[in-house]
Each structure stands twice: as C-alpha cells, then as structure tokens.
Amino acid sequence: MRVYQSIQDFILDESFFRYAVQQDPSEIVKWESYLKDHPEQGTLIQRAKQELLAMQDALYLVDAQQNYARLAAQLNPPVRNVRLKKKWTYYAAASLILLCLITALYIFQYHFNKPETTAYVTLPAEKKTIKLADGTLIKLNADSKLDVAAGFGKTNRAVKLVGEAYMEVAKNKALPFTVTTQALQVRVLGTTINVRAYANEELTAASLIEGSAEIILKNKSEAPILLKPMDKVVAPISSPQASISTELPVHKKPADYKLESVTHYDAEQRLAETSWADQKLVFVNEPLSSIAKTLERWYNIKIEFQNSDISSRKYTAAFDDREELQNVLQSLRSSLPFNYRKIGPRTISIYLTNP
Amino acid sequence: MSKDRDILEIQLWEALQSGEQSALQQLYMSYYKSLLQYGMRYTEDRDTLKDSINNTFLYFWEKRESIGTANHVGNYIFKSYQRQLVKDLDRTTKFEALHESNTNIDIADVEEFQFIISQEENTRVTILKNAILQLPKRQRELVLLRYYEGLSYEEITVKTNLSKRAVYNQIHSAINALKKDTNLQNLKQILPLLILF
C-alpha cells in the first residue's frame, strides 16, 4: 500500500473513494485494518472522508443547477398574441374609452389647478439614478420615493423625500434647492449631500459631502443648523425626545439632534454614508436591528427577531451589494454569533445561539 | 424528519401554486439528489433520470393551479416522480424490473432518500459548489467523472482519450485549487470585519 500523508492523498485515492463514498464492503474491511495500523491518521482520514462527502453534495448541486437551467427554459414559453388581431374591435373600443378618461382627467386637473408633482419610486432591492431638469443628479436608494414639485427648475427647486437619496445638486444661486422629509428640511445652493429618511426608522440623517447646507428641524423653532463639509446631522423622526449631545457646544439650548462627522470606513477614506451609491453595503458599529432594516430593503425580505437582545448588538462590516444574503449573514455571525433560518419563502428568523 | 422542514416545504409548495418560480427551484434543488439516487435503483442511465426529474417538475409547474395541497410534500414529489419514471422508462424500454416490483412507495422509503443538511454544512457545500463551477471546463468535467459518476482513472482515460498521467494531474490540480479556493472564501468572509479593527 502506498503512503498517505495529506488529506489530498486520501481524496485522490480510488480505493479510499470506494470506501468513503460508495461504501464498498471489501474496501471497508481494508481501510478499517489500515486505521488499526495507523491510529495517528485517524483525524486525517475522518477529515478526508468529510471532504469527499461534502464534495458529493456539492457535485449534486452543480448537476442540479445545470439540469435546472434546462427546465427553466421550458417554464415560460412566450405568449403569442394571436387573439389580438381577432379582437381588434375590443381594443379599439377600449382605447377610445381610455382616451375619453384621459381627456376628462386633464380637464379636471386644469379646472382645479392641482400642482403636478412627478414621483420617482424605487422598489425594495432596486436603485435608480435620476437627472433633474436643472442638472441635479440624484441616486435613489431602495424602497424610496422622491416627489419633484411642479415647476421644478423654473419657479422652485423643491423635492420631497421618503427613504434615502444621494444628491449632487447643480449650482443655482437664484433658486435654492430644498429637500423636505418628515422631520427636517434641507436648503442648499449647490452641493453634494446624502439624506436618509426612511419612514420605518427612528432616526433621520443628512450628511454633507461638499458645499454648504442649512438644516431646519420641523419640530424646533430655533435657527437653522449650518453644515460644513463632512458634517452629519442625526435627528429623531417622531417624538422630540431629548437625547442631549455633548458634542454640541455651539447651541445654547439642549437640542434633540446630534451633529457628528461622517464616517470613513476604509483606508481609502471612503464614506460609509454614501457607500450605498457605490454599490456597497457598509455598516459601522450599527445595531443589528438597523442592519436588518437595510437588508430587508436591499434583498426584499422580512427579518424577524426572536430575542430582542440580539437586535441591539452592534456590528461593523462591509460588503459588495451583490453579495448573496447568506454570505452577508454568515460573516456577520462570525464576529458575534447568532443563528438564523428561513421561516417563509421571503422571511428569515434570527435567534440566539443557545449558551 | 424535522417539523421545521415540513412546514417550510408546505410554504414552498403554496408559493409554487401561486406561481413563484423560485419556490419551484428551491424544491428542485433540495430534492434533486434524493430523486436521482432513488432512480439509480432502477437504471444506471442518468440522462433518462434527469429528464424524468425535469418532466416531474414541469408537470408541477404547468398544473400548479389545479394540483392539490400536499400534506407531505416529499411524499407527493416522490410519488409523482415514480409515475413519471414508469412512463419514461417504458418509452425508452431500457428497464423491465420496475413493473415487477411493487410500484407503491411508502413513507419510510421516501425518508430513506431525504437528506437534511444543517446550516453550517449547507454553507460549506455552497462554497464548494461555487468553487467547482469556477474550475476550468476540462478540470470540472474530469472532477465530475471521477467524483460524481465514480469512474476510475482508468475508465476516464478510455472515455476521454487522455493519458492516465494527464487525467491524474488535472484532477490533482483541481483538488488543490478547490482547497485553496474554499479556504480563500472563508477568509473573504472575515476580512471585511478585520479592516476596521
């Protein structure tokens, strides 16, 4: 018999394969006696066996994936539109009715002089890049809505935001650009700014990358907060609870917002706040509950916590936004362990590892 | 048989009935191995078995609105697969013994072929799968012949017209690449966390 020194030596051996995978009776006898003669190789043999079995499962998956591709091609045969020609009269009638409706709607709108806003909406797991009439470039993050007011670029430059947007605002001294969210209003002349105001999050944040900006908190009557580049304002969305910040020497009154600096997350000084606009998922010392909300939006899933004490644990990590969800969860749990499992087609439950 | 898995599969089945293709794919991926192994009892012809598996799932998809709710998804899949197998093997007339044997499958039979992999194992296997898919085409083919179809080096030599030395060397470097690749991927998962500390 030849000499076996490494896992690979075993994996490459035909006789070992017949023993570990095919469970050939004569090979079992042979390898059991080999083990008796070389008890020191017990763990090596065990690991080689595990590797071979894992490889079997992996190969079944490879084969399944290749074979499924053939099936997938058969699943949705293209729908032919034969009926369309036969029933053209119906379609003609339908379009006539539609035309009447549109006219009626137009007249209605004209008479009541409703301002027409343009809405841009992103679904979960979707991002959009929008160029507005004044040349402003906007990247809209997943599950967000941006309303652009009527007359934008002519009489005003006002937008409304629910969700998150990264904005490179074109310069125009005559018309200030304003972003209104549930809790605050941002006024800028020409600048790059990231505003995060999701309805299902407790905090809203505005991070100034360059230029200058004024922030007006809606539930405060005090003077606007003036932002310098790399400043970040974080404010609660609903109840004005006093989370008094010690980092605020400028303002006399205790404020319920915080003035922070934006966070650099890597050696190249890239910013965590705008990382999503560069196809990255970055979390810096962020509680799992808030990470979960981002993942829900990004992968279009629901995440449930079985124990609330896990959701407050803080994690730091960076991923490419095309990383598979499973890999993201795996690497998070490798720093502070938790368990997760799928409990529905698009629902994941996170629970604590039993001590 | 775990309860969780039963519940998950019933949810998947309902999602499939409502037209979610990803549910069909998930069930397909998790039953593929057991169905193929079950079929190997009756024929060595993998291509016919693969076609039968696809026909079974195609049937589920096309009849998704009329097929009933399954109390035991695995049982239902196996029974449908067996019917399909009888039909397909009959057509190819490659097999006779199936008719002689009892064509009823009982639950114990089904469970013998179901395999449950834990989450950790599952990840390891997925990493390995991705690594295999990234091997050069020739190496991947040889790995499949050697470790999936279980052919010996000698048999592969005959089948591929390569020298035995070449076959062995290619598989050897494939195994080394897989080892390196899977280790690297484990590292890649931890790396982002290290950057900041």
For residue A271, being part of any structural domain is answered with no
pLDDT of residue A74: 83
DSSP A104-165: HHHHHHHHHT----EEEE--TT--EEEE-TTS-EEEE-TT-EEEE-TTBTTTBEEEEEEEEE
State whether A62 and B144 contact (CB < 8 Å).
yes
| CB B165, CB B153: distance < 8 Å | no
Q: What CA–CA distance (Å, rounded) separates A219 from A237?
A: 10
pLDDT of residue B95: 47
pLDDT of residue A254: 43
Q: Give the A:B interface size as CB pairs under 8 Å.
A: 130
| Ramachandran angles phi, psi of B2, nearest 5° | -80, 145
pLDDT of residue A155: 85
**In a shared domain, residues A126 and A256:** yes
Domain that residue A91 falls in: 82-112
Set of chain A residues whose Cβ sits within 8 Å of the Cβ of B21:
72, 75
What CATH number corresponds to the domain at position A297? Answer: 3.55.50.30
**In a shared domain, residues A181 and A48:** no
**In a shared domain, residues A186 and A99:** no
Residues of chain A with pLDDT under 50: 78-84, 239-254, 355
**Cα distance from B28 to chain A (closest Cα, Å)?**
8
Over chain B, what is the mean pLDDT?
78
Residue A32: name the closest of A17, A47, A42, A22 by CA: A42
Beta-bridged to residue A304, according to DSSP, are: A349
**In a shared domain, residues A129 and A245:** yes
Q: Is residue B57 predicted with pLDDT exceeding 90?
A: yes
Set of chain B residues whose Cβ sits within 8 Å of the Cβ of A74:
54, 58
Total count of domains within chain A: 4
pLDDT of residue A245: 42
Set of chain B residues whose Cβ sits within 8 Å of the Cβ of A67:
32, 50, 53-54
pLDDT of residue A1: 60
Buried b (16+ CB within 10 A) or exposed e, B10-37: ebbbebbbeebeebbbbbbebbbbbbbe
For residue A273, being part of any structural domain is answered with no
**Cα distance from B154 to chain A (closest Cα, Å)?**
10
Q: Which CATH class is domain B119-195?
A: mainly alpha
Task: Name the amino acid, one letter, at B84.
Answer: Q
Compare B118 and B74 and report the one with higher pLDDT: B74
**In a shared domain, residues A86 and A169:** no
The CATH label, of 1.10.287, 1.10.1740, 1.10.860, 2.40.10, for the domain at B3-113 is: 1.10.1740
Set of chain B residues whose Cβ sits within 8 Å of the Cβ of A68:
25, 28-29, 32
State whether B144 and A8 contact (CB < 8 Å).
no
Per-residue pLDDT tens over the stretch A97-144:
888 788 777 766 666 555 567 888 888 888 888 888 888 889 999 889
pLDDT of residue B3: 66
Q: Is residue B155 predicted with pLDDT exceeding 50?
A: yes
For B196, the closest of A68, A265, A342 (CB atoms) is: A265
**In a shared domain, residues A206 and A300:** no
Interface ipTM: 0.81
State whether A344 and B11 contact (CB < 8 Å).
yes
**In a shared domain, residues A173 and A189:** yes
Q: What are the sequence ranges of the domains in chain B?
A: 3-113, 119-195
For residue A270, being part of any structural domain is answered with no
pLDDT of residue A246: 40
**In a shared domain, residues A206 and A224:** yes
**In a shared domain, residues A125 and A100:** no
Per-residue pLDDT tens over the stretch B75-126:
889 889 988 888 888 766 544 444 444 444 444 455 544 444 444 556 778 8
**In a shared domain, residues A71 and A92:** no
Confidence of residue B187 (pLDDT cuts 50, 70, 90): low
State whether B193 and A60 contact (CB < 8 Å).
no
State whether A54 and B175 contact (CB < 8 Å).
no
